[in-house]
């Protein structure tokens, strides 16, 4: 059942993205490839990833492989589930990165909100989302994370496609500290997978005082609908 507060912009996007006769999946699984940068001017890091985004709850899992040498790769898991986020990395099976805590929880929930264009079913089925219109091409979507409320803005073009998302203060790791930083992303190049129409290209950037820093650029190579297991 569609929550009553879903704006018409969002309803229109979901109607165009998802066939009306389509049953509700449990997750949307996408395969990606792309490039990341750890800081401005750093060398590009190639990756391949599988991301699973939940439809009826605020949850996702991003599992990525970053090749380092011919037979050596770093494995990264970035996820949010049951109100908690985790960012972990392993190299040769050994942990080299581990982050968690309230700031990461907020940042991971914001990532889910910002990536809703890739899971259009959730835009009208996820009861944990709160929506409101901002203007004729922009909406805000929010969710509760423990004591915090996190929110993202989603921007549409004249044809009703999502072209961007943004947040005012997403937690950004700077050394051992976390700094709330304006953040934004873009979406483009729509295509249809398994009857579902989604953007296939995306970018994410930090709006730093010295200028925007694009740290993630990716391409969706496939999309799969994951349905609840029958008992």
pLDDT band at 174 (very low <50, low <70, confident <90, very high): confident
137 inside domain: yes
**Residue 155 located in a structural domain:** yes
pLDDT of residue 222: 98
Q: Over the stretch 26-60, which tens digit does the pLDDT of each residue have?
A: 999 999 999 999 999 999 999 999 999 999 999 99
Confidence of residue 189 (pLDDT cuts 50, 70, 90): very high
The answer to whether residue 1 sits within a structural domain is: no
Domain presence at residue 227: no
CA distance 101 to 73: 26
Q: Is residue 229 part of a domain?
A: no
Could you report the per-residue pLDDT of 131-147, keeping only the tens digit for each? 999 999 999 999 999 99
209 has a pLDDT exceeding 90: yes
Please count the CA atoms within 13 angstroms of the CA of 221 that sit on its side-chain side.
10
Q: What is the mean pLDDT of the chain?
A: 94
Phi, psi of 113 (to 5 degrees): -60, -45
- pLDDT value at residue 230: 56
* Digit-coded pLDDT (tens) for 98-142: 999 999 999 999 999 999 999 999 999 999 999 999 999 999 999
Domain that holds residue 86: 8-222
Q: What pLDDT sits at residue 2?
A: 62
Residue 3 lies in a domain: no
Residue 175 has pLDDT above 90, yes or no: no
Q: Note the pLDDT of residue 5.
A: 85
Task: Say which CATH number the domain at 208 has.
Answer: 2.50.20
What is the DSSP track for 143-186?
EEETTEEEEEEEEE-TTS-EEEEEEEEEEEEETTEEEEEEEEEE
Average pLDDT over residues 62-74: 92
DSSP the chain: ---TT--HHHHHHHHHHS-TTPPPPSEEEEEEEEEE-SSTTPPPEEEEEEEEEESSSS-EEEEEEEEEETTEEEEEEEEEETTEEEEEEEETTEEEEEE-SHHHHHHHHHHHHHTGGG-HHHHHH-TT-EEEEEETTEEEEEEEETTEEEEEEEEE-TTS-EEEEEEEEEEEEETTEEEEEEEEEEEEEEEEETTEEEEEEEEEEEEETTEEEEEEEEEEEEEEEEPPPP-
- Indicate whether 82 belongs to any domain: yes
Residue 118 lies in a domain: yes
**Structural domains of the chain, count:** 1
């Amino acid at each position: 059942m569609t929550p009553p507060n879903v704006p018409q912009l969002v309803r229109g996007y979901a109607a165009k993205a998802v066939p009306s006769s389509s049953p509700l999946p449990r997750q949307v699984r996408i395969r990606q490839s792309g490039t990341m940068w750890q800081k401005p001017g750093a060398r590009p890091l190639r990756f391949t990833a599988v991301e699973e985004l939940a439809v009826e709850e605020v949850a996702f899992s991003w599992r990525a492989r970053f090749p380092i040498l011919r037979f050596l790769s770093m494995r990264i898991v970035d996820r949010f589930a049951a109100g908690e986020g985790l960012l972990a990395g392993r190299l040769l099976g050994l942990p080299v990165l581990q982050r968690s805590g309230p700031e990461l929880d907020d940042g991971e929930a914001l990532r889910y909100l910002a990536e809703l264009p890739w899971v259009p079913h959730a835009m009208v089925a996820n009861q944990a989302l709160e929506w409101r219109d901002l203007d004729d091409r922009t909406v805000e979507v929010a969710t509760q994370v423990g004591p915090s409320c996190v929110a993202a803005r989603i921007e549409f073009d004249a044809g009703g496609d999502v072209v961007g998302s943004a947040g005012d203060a997403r937690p950004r790791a700077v050394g051992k500290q976390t700094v709330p930083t304006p953040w934004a992303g873009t979406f483009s190049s729509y295509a249809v997978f398994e009857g579902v129409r989604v953007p296939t290209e995306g970018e994410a950037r930090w709006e730093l005082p010295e200028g925007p820093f694009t740290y993630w650029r990716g391409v969706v190579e496939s999309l799969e609908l994951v349905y609840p297991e029958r008992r």
